[in-house]
Amino acid sequence: MPIALPVGLILALFIGLLIWLAPVQMVLLVLAGLASVVTVIRRPTLGLLLFCVLGTFIPYSTIQIGVRTTVSEAMIMLTWASYLLQAMFFDQPKRPPMQRTERLLLMLMLFSAFPFLVGQVSVVAEGNGPINWVRWLFNLSILFLVPRLLLERQTLEQLIMCLMLGTLAMLLMSIPVFLAERSATAMIPILGVLGYSGVDVLNSSLLALADRMGSPWMHPNVAGGALAMLLPLAFCYGLSRSGGPRSIALAVAVLGVIGLLLTGSRGALISLVAVMLWMARRRIPHLGRILLGGVFAGTALLLLYPPLQDRIMSLFSDDDVSTAIRFLEYSHFPDAVAMFPFGIGFKVDPPVLNYTEFGISNLWLNFVYKLGLPGMLLFIAITTSWWKQVRPAKGPIVLTADNCIALGTTCGVLAALFSGLFDHYFSFTPVLSALFWLFVGISLHENRRLHQQAIASFKSHVARPEQGERP
C-alpha cells in the first residue's frame, strides 16, 4: 500500500480532531506550521531563507518543541534535519572541501564539550546546560549550511533579500513605535503578541533603558550590534543593484543608521564608523558622500532628540555609569578566571550567582569566561584564518554586482569583531551569533568563488595568445 494513503489518513484524522477540540486560531496556526515544516523538509534551502527573515525580524519569538527555543533556532534545526533526510534518499551535489576556517570552527565545537562537562559539575546553579550547549552548537553550525545549500547564485541573492526584508520589517516596526511613545517599553505589548516569552522580566529590565529604542532584539545594544553588522551589506548591495532590490537595500541602510542612533549603542556606532572609514580609505565609490550625508543626518537627529545628545556626550564623560561598570568588570575578571579556569560552561551566563558579581563586556574575554583560555585562542585562530582568506588585495576596491556580497559580509564581520571590544553579544547570544557565523560563511563562500573565477579568467587569458599562434 502506498505510504501516502496512511499518512494522509492520519493527518486528516489529526486535523479533524483539532478542528473539533481546539479554537479556530490554534487550528490555523497549526496548519500553517505543518505546511511550513513539510515545505522545508521538501526544500531545505527554504529553511535557511526563512531563518534569514525571522532571525532579523522577530529573532526571539519562541516555540515549544519539547523545550522552549526561538523560532529562528528551530528553523536552523529543521533545515539540518531536512538536509540530512534529503541526503539519505537523494544524491546531493558534491560540496567543496572544508576550508581551514571551517575545520577550526569544528575544532571549537568539539572542544566546547569539555568546558560544558566541567561547568555542569563545578557550577551549582539553576540552568539547562545541555539544551543551551546544543542551541549554541546549532547557531555555529549555520556556517556549514552555506556551502551545502547556497550552490546557485540565485539562491544567494534570495538569501540576501530575505535578510534585507526581515531587517526592513524590524526597523519599520521599531522606529515608529519609539518615535510615537519615546520609550523602549512601548515595544513590550507588541513582543508579547509576537510570541516572546518572559515579557514581564523584559519590561523591568527595559525601564532603565527607556530613552533608547526598543526592538525585537530586546536589548538596545544587541539591536545596535545587529544593525552594525547588517548595514555594510545593505550599503554594498544597494549601491550595486537596480530596481526593487536597490530600493529595499538602501531603505535598510538609511533606516538602519537612524535605528542605530536611536538604540544609543555607542560601541556599535563606533564600530560601524570605523569600518566605513576603512571602506572609504579603500576608495569604494560613493562612500565618502554617504559618510558626509550620515554626518549631517546624525547632527540633525542629535539636535532634534536630546536623549541622544546625552548618550553621545557620555562618551567623553568621567561619570558615565556603563563605562564605570565596564571598568569594574575588567578589574574583577581575573578573579572569575581564577575561580573557573576551564570556563563556566553553558549552564548559566556570566555573572554566576553566588560565585561572581560581574560579567565581561568583551567578545574575546567572554570566550575565556565560558570556555576557558583555549576557547578564546581557538576563536582567535578562526577569525585570523577567516581574514587571511577574505582579505581584499591591496589598492582601491572596485565595487561591482559580482563582489558586493563578499565585500558587504566581510565588512559586516569586521564591524561585529570591532564592536566586540565593547560588547560580548556575538559570542554566545542566540540568533545573533548565528547571523554572525552566517556572514562568516557567506564571505568565505563568495571569496572562494571570486578567487576561482579570477584563476579561470587568468588561465583563459594566458591560453588565448597560444591559440592565436597556432597555424
Round to whole Å and give the CA distance between 379 and 116: 16
CB 111 within 8 Å of CB 378: yes
411 half-sphere exposure, CB direction, 13 A CA radius: 29
Round to whole Å and give the CA distance between 259 and 255: 6
CB 266 within 8 Å of CB 312: yes
Residue 64's DSSP bridge partners are 68
Q: Which helix (H) or strand (E) holds 68?
A: strand 68-70
pLDDT at 471: 41
What nine digits make up the cell of 65?
Answer: 518543541
Q: Which residues contact 280 (CB under 8 A, 6 or more apart)?
A: 287, 288, 291
Alpha-helical segments (H) within 43-128: 44-57, 71-89, 100-111, 113-122
pLDDT at 252: 94
Residue 347: what are its φ and ψ, rounded to 5°? Answer: -65, -45
Round to whole Å and give the CA distance between 66 and 324: 41
3-state helix, strand, coil in the chain (%, to 5): 75, 0, 25
pTM: 0.89
Residue 63's DSSP bridge partners are 69
Residue 22: what are its φ and ψ, rounded to 5°? Answer: -110, 160
pLDDT at 195: 83
Provide the residue-wise pLDDT of the chain in tens; the chain has 471 residues: 444 455 556 556 655 665 666 565 555 555 566 666 667 777 889 999 999 999 999 999 988 777 788 999 999 999 998 898 888 877 777 778 889 999 999 999 999 999 999 999 988 888 889 999 999 999 999 999 999 999 889 999 999 999 999 999 999 999 999 888 888 888 888 888 888 887 777 776 777 677 788 899 988 999 999 999 999 999 999 988 889 999 999 999 989 988 998 888 888 988 988 998 888 887 777 766 666 666 676 677 667 666 666 656 655 555 567 778 888 999 999 999 999 999 999 999 998 888 888 889 999 999 999 999 999 999 999 999 999 999 988 888 888 889 999 999 999 999 999 999 989 999 999 999 999 999 999 999 999 988 888 787 767 767 665 554 444
